Copies of this chain bind each other. A is one copy, B any other.
Amino acid sequence: MADAQRMVVIGGNATGMAAASHARRLRAPDELEIVVLERGDFTSYSSCGIPYWVAGDVGRAEDLVVRTPQEHRRRGLEVRMRTEATALDVERRRVRLRPSGAEADPSGEEWLGYDHLVLATGARPVRPSLPGVDAAGVHGVQTLDEGRALLHALEAEEAAEAEGPEGGRAGHASGRRREAVVIGAGYIGVEMSEALVRRGYAVTVLDQAEQPMNTLDPDMGVLVREAMEGMGITTVTGADVTALRASADGHVTEVVTGDGTAYPADVVVLGLGVRPETALARAAGLPVGDSGGLLTDLTQRVRGHRDIWAGGDCVEVLDLVAGRTRHVALGTHANKHGQVIGANVGGDYATFPGVVGTAVSKVCDLEIARTGLLERQASDLGLRHVAVTVESTSRAGYFPGAAPMHVKMLAEHRTGRLLGVQIVGREGAGKRVDVAAVALTAGLTVEQMTALDLGYAPPFSPVWDPVLVAARKATTAVRRAVRG
């Protein structure tokens, strides 16, 4: 081992473990020692699966775990669980460690040297600095540990209730339906709302924006609102949360908004999105971008640092449509970054060219998808554009199960280049966004898209796929705008 280099990976989830595993496939332990530091209890798990675990679709936390620490160790990785990196010494190429949570005991600290460092520290949920936000019963759902804490709390509530009113927590009126407030109506907020409804909670979602899902334009977001209200989720928009109130025992009881309304809450879930976890990196002077993520080159090397790599939820990615970097927390990018880092550290070669902004989600049977730019984003970037919306069906109109779907499409003025697509519909609607994602990657115009050879058969699509119908309408709109 004397000549072996050492790869140190901070963070044992998607990026970190993909990087470590891929590097191990390329380099044997006598060439490359690989040490992974993970501050939590789990490795390689699906954060995105947490809402489905809370809803009961997924039975156990273990089902969300792709590979346990033991499995990684059997594959030749050294994995140190419940271990936190507290400092990074770029000059001397070393990381300071201690057991997670042992903040008061500096004696437990040690330094670990590296030849290659991988920062895969992920993201943390936004916790607004509001009075009462640290009350018991207020939950983030970013990590499996957080998901587990929420689920334990819900199960404890449910068990207490089953024991009768005197067994319940003080202030929990007998026979009352349990109430949940979700702050933020983005992907995680919407998915958690469904999960909580399915667990029997009365759910209120509060969001500052004009419509839920502000990853869509408001005219598409309203379709999501209708579906949410249809399943009994109270959806309050333009809602500015100003405080959370707690009972004497420190448990949350109400969420208060700017207009003075108090929403009763037995549990509060924060769905305000996440921010890159970069405290360690920033303290060491590594470069971060406008949205707070680490800046890397296309090989996932941190800019200006030959031996430090970063990927996943702690970095910014190049948005190929916007032409700039931004923070996009998504497991699929995190895995790709890990693969790229592992290849490069392992002596192979790979790059991550960027994203086009694809995301897909569902609330009950409503599928919600987007890729590229929203109207607001296009305008902010100074991109003149046309936007069209069409309503079509996911299958041939005469075929059983054909359901309406709405497709909104943005194209650049003059060039007609596709700028973005948003889809809201039922079964089979969401993944159609992939066609637009590839078209964006390839720089196709909406007129070129009208000729795309997409799969057609009555159980799968009308003879004009809804994406093609939108492309035709967008083509006409571009022509009119040019003439007009």
Contacts and interface: CB of A to CB of B under 8 A. Distances in A.
A49 interface: yes
A458 B46 contact: yes
A336 B433 contact: no
Interface string A430-470: 11111101110110100010111111111111011100000
Contacts of A457: 48, 187, 359-362, 430
Given A360-B457, A438-B439, A456-B331, A451 B336 contact: yes
Contacts of A49: 396, 398-399, 458
Contacts of A396: 46, 48-49
Given A463-B14, A463-B331, A455 B46 contact: no
Contacts of A448: 353, 441
Q: How many copies make up the complex?
A: 2
B435 A432 contact: no
A52 interface: yes
Given A331-B463, A360-B460, A431-B432, A398 B58 contact: yes
Contacts of A48: 396, 456-458, 463
A442 B356 CA distance: 16
Contacts of A52: 398-399, 458-459
Contacts of A354: 451, 453
B437 A455 contact: yes
A371 B46 contact: no
A394 to B, nearest CB: 10
A369 interface: yes
21 contacts: A46-B396, A46-B463, A52-B398, A52-B399, A57-B400, A58-B398, A64-B398, A332-B453, A332-B464, A356-B453, A359-B456, A360-B455, A360-B461, A371-B453, A430-B457, A430-B460, A431-B461, A433-B455, A434-B454, A435-B438, A441-B453
Interface of A: 14, 46, 48-49, 52, 57-58, 63-64, 187, 330-333, 335-336, 339, 351-362, 367, 369, 371, 396, 398-400, 428, 430-435, 437-439, 441-442, 444, 448, 450-461, 463-465, 472
